[in-house]
């Protein structure tokens, strides 16, 4: 096999050689202003070559024919090593219940029409409905000098619905994302029409949102995407890439208490058909569940092979990349807070004045300090133990270590939501999740500021 011969040749110079071949096919449907605007198809193919020598990584990405002899110029000495005798390539493929081809373009168009009608029929104040469906098939082949030789065919589906409403010059927007690892199963979900109607209800409710001043107060974070705050403020700091670069506040905390005993944080790429799921990671290792924090104690980091070698840590099959253009590194997959036993109604009743964050937006964090700020897209006022008015969008400002220790209550309603995570190895599909939780105190930036 030609590739194996090339690996053997390079292995005489480098400590580790890896070839990552990829073929990606994508099809995107854009439905705007009650019509199918376009269908965009794209195919891309390329090769990423990674060489390791002592503590140095050499990486080359190409979509053209490449002279591998050029790579030998990186090294000074040819080593006398026995040639590799390669094992068989193992083959993996995601299970798909509804293939992309099982539903015709006309059926998809009618599905978009149904969504558009449900939303527009709710209120004449709704001015625009945009729908975007992405279907992605990715075939990868990984060959390396560690004998982790695999082929993996995976499928990703993502549907984004965005709605704009206007009243007396005030314009608001609300969106919802549905995504899974696999085919078009989400289109046949029985609850889908009611979820679509919820988008319309929320965007109209936003037209009457109110403003308040910010201050430190208790906050209840809703289940599902509320976990973005743990993904950003905590999760990235538990990736070995941050640890290697001394860019995490958790660098000296392995085995120590870093959170409330209510907090158990899991990263599990083996979950069936979630957006961040994978059968193998991008170094060819079979994926596995990792307990990051257990009852407040830091148990593990997410570790890829290279950073594991650098840091003397056991790899956790957590290596990921967007595509062949990026060298892989440690990244999250399906990251979630384990369910507790507290009740949501008890959380709300315990608060005289605070915020119920029904939906979170994005945010930013400095992993070296743990300081963060996050956007609450749907904040509700809690007053005298009851949820009251919807407020204008607000911010949460705090520190990673503080918020982990301020988790006071954790409910039993665990929910997982999909997202896209951007970091050193590109934008990758992830899942984040949590039950509804109560933070005893955090600085809330006011909606009138």
* pLDDT one-digit tens code per residue, 241-274: 999 999 999 999 999 999 999 999 999 999 999 9
Q: What is the mean pLDDT of residues 16-42?
A: 97
Q: Bigger pLDDT: 56 or 29?
A: 29
- Percentage of residues in the chain with pLDDT exceeding 90? 84
pLDDT for residue 447 = 66
Cα 126 to Cα 164, 192, 197, 210, 351, distances in angstroms: 6, 20, 12, 20, 34
pLDDT at 448: 57
pLDDT of 31 > 70? The answer is yes
Taking 90 as the threshold, does the pLDDT of residue 1 lie above it?
Answer: no
Give the model confidence (pLDDT) of 201-242 as tens digits.
999 999 999 999 999 999 999 999 999 989 988 999 999 999
Structure tokens that stand for 416 in this block = 């997982």
Residue 449, pLDDT above cutoff 60:
no
The answer on pLDDT for 167 being more than 60 is: yes
Q: Taking the CB of residue 81, how many other CB atoms lie within 10 A of it? A: 12
Q: How confident is the model at residue 6 (pLDDT cuts 50, 70, 90)?
A: confident
What digits encode the pLDDT tens for the residues 50-102? 999 888 889 999 999 877 777 877 776 788 888 888 889 999 999 999 999 99
Give the torsion sign (CA, 374, 239, 143, 18): positive
Helices (H), 245-358: 305-311, 344-349
DSSP label of 116: H
pLDDT digits (tens, 9 = 90+) for 391-417: 999 999 999 999 999 999 999 999 999
- Would the pLDDT of 276 be above 90? yes
Give pLDDT, residue 168: 94
Q: Which stretches of 208-289 are assigned E, i.e. beta strand?
A: 215-221, 265-267
* Cβ-Cβ contacts under 8 Å for 402 (sequence gap 6 or more): 370, 442
- Among 95-104, 181-190, 346-355, 372-381, the range scoring the smallest mean pLDDT is 181-190
Looking at every residue in the chain, the average pLDDT score rounds to: 94
**Do 443 and 213 meet the contact criterion of CB atoms below 8 Å apart?**
no
Q: Domain spans of the chain?
A: 2-206, 215-445
What are the tens digits of pLDDT across the range 304-350? 999 999 999 999 999 999 999 999 999 999 999 999 999 999 999 99
Q: Report the relative pairing of strands 215-221 and 170-181 from DSSP bridges.
A: unpaired
| Long-range CB pairs of 34-39, under 8 A, 24+ apart, other chains included | 34/113, 34/116, 34/120, 34/129, 36/109, 36/112, 39/105
CATH code of the region 2-206: 3.30.2290.10
Q: For the residues 37-42, what does the mean pLDDT come to?
A: 98
């Amino acid at each position: 096999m030609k590739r194996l011969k090339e690996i053997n040749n390079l292995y005489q110079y480098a400590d580790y050689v890896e070839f990552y071949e990829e073929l990606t096919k994508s099809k995107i449907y854009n439905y705007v202003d009650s019509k199918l605007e376009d269908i965009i198809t794209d195919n891309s193919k390329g090769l990423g070559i990674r060489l390791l020598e002592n503590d140095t990584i050499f990486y080359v990405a190409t979509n053209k024919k490449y002279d591998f002899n050029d790579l030998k110029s990186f090294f000074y000495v040819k080593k006398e090593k026995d040639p590799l005798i390669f094992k068989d390539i193992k083959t993996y493929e995601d299970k798909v219940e509804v293939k992309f081809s099982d539903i015709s373009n006309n059926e998809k168009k009618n599905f978009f029409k149904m969504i558009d009608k449900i939303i527009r029929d709710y209120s004449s104040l709704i001015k625009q409905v945009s729908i975007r469906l992405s279907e992605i098939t990715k075939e990868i082949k990984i060959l390396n000098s560690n004998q982790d030789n695999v082929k993996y065919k995976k499928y990703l589906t993502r549907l984004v619905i965005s709605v704009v409403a206007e009243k007396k010059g005030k314009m608001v927007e609300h969106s919802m994302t549905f995504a899974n690892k696999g085919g078009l199963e989400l289109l046949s979900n029985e609850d889908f029409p009611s979820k679509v109607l919820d988008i319309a209800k929320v965007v109209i409710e936003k037209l009457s949102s109110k403003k308040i001043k910010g201050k430190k107060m208790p906050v209840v974070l809703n289940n599902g995407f509320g976990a973005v705050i743990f993904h950003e403020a905590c999760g990235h700091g538990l990736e070995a890439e941050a640890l290697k670069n001394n860019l995490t506040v958790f660098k000296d905390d392995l085995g120590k208490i870093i959170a409330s005993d209510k907090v158990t944080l899991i990263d599990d790429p083996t979950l069936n058909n979630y957006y961040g799921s994978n059968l193998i990671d991008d170094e060819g290792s079979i994926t596995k569940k990792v307990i990051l924090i257990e009852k407040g104690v830091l148990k593990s980091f997410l570790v890829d092979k290279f950073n594991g070698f650098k840091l003397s840590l056991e790899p956790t099959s957590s290596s990921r990349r967007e595509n062949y253009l990026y060298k892989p590194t440690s990244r999250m997959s399906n990251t979630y807070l384990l369910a507790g036993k507290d009740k949501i109604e008890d959380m709300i009743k315990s608060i005289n004045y605070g915020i119920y964050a029904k939906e979170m937006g994005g945010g930013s964090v400095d992993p070296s300090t743990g300081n963060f700020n996050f956007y609450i897209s749907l904040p509700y006022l809690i007053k005298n133990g009851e949820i009251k008015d919807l407020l204008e969008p607000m911010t949460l400002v705090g520190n990673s270590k503080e918020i982990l220790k301020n988790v006071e209550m954790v409910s039993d309603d665990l929910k997982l939501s999909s997202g896209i995570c951007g970091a050193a190895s590109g934008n990758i599909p992830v899942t984040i999740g949590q039950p509804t939780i109560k933070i005893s105190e955090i600085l809330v930036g006011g909606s009138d500021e």
